[in-house]
Amino acid sequence: MISYTGEMFSPIKRAMECGFTIHHLSMPCAHCSQDATHHLLYLDGVLQTSGSPINVEDYADATQIYESVCYDCYTTAIQAAYA
């Protein structure tokens, strides 16, 4: 539910504001065994932390890798990118 920018996807946010029930789909983190709640985007091996949360085909000339990760692995990746 959280994009690679660290923000909630706007349709999910709006659904919650309107009182819809959101059902969690369990998916394992790409790095550990916890539930994935966040996403990481790598373009040509470089972690991206800003931009449009939805960018289908925006980076057609770059190698795109999305990873579904837990909060702990998300924050670890973000901290490592800024170290």
Q: What is the pLDDT along the chain (83 residues), one digit of tens a residue?
A: 677 777 777 778 888 889 888 777 789 999 998 999 898 999 899 998 887 766 666 666 778 888 999 999 999 999 998 87
Whether 25 and 68 have beta carbons less than 8 Å apart is answered as no
Q: Which domain holds residue 61?
A: 10-81
On whether residue 44 sits in a domain, the answer given is yes
Separation of alpha carbons 17 and 32, rounded Å: 31
Whether 6 and 50 have beta carbons less than 8 Å apart is answered as no
Q: How many domains does the chain have?
A: 1
pLDDT attached to residue 75 = 94
pLDDT attached to residue 17 = 87
On whether residue 2 sits in a domain, the answer given is no
pTM (two decimals): 0.70
Separation of alpha carbons 77 and 83, rounded Å: 10
The dihedrals phi and psi of 69, each to the nearest 5 degrees, come to: -135, 165
The dihedrals phi and psi of 64, each to the nearest 5 degrees, come to: -105, 130
pLDDT attached to residue 35 = 93
On whether residue 37 sits in a domain, the answer given is yes
Give 33's DSSP letter: S
pLDDT attached to residue 74 = 94
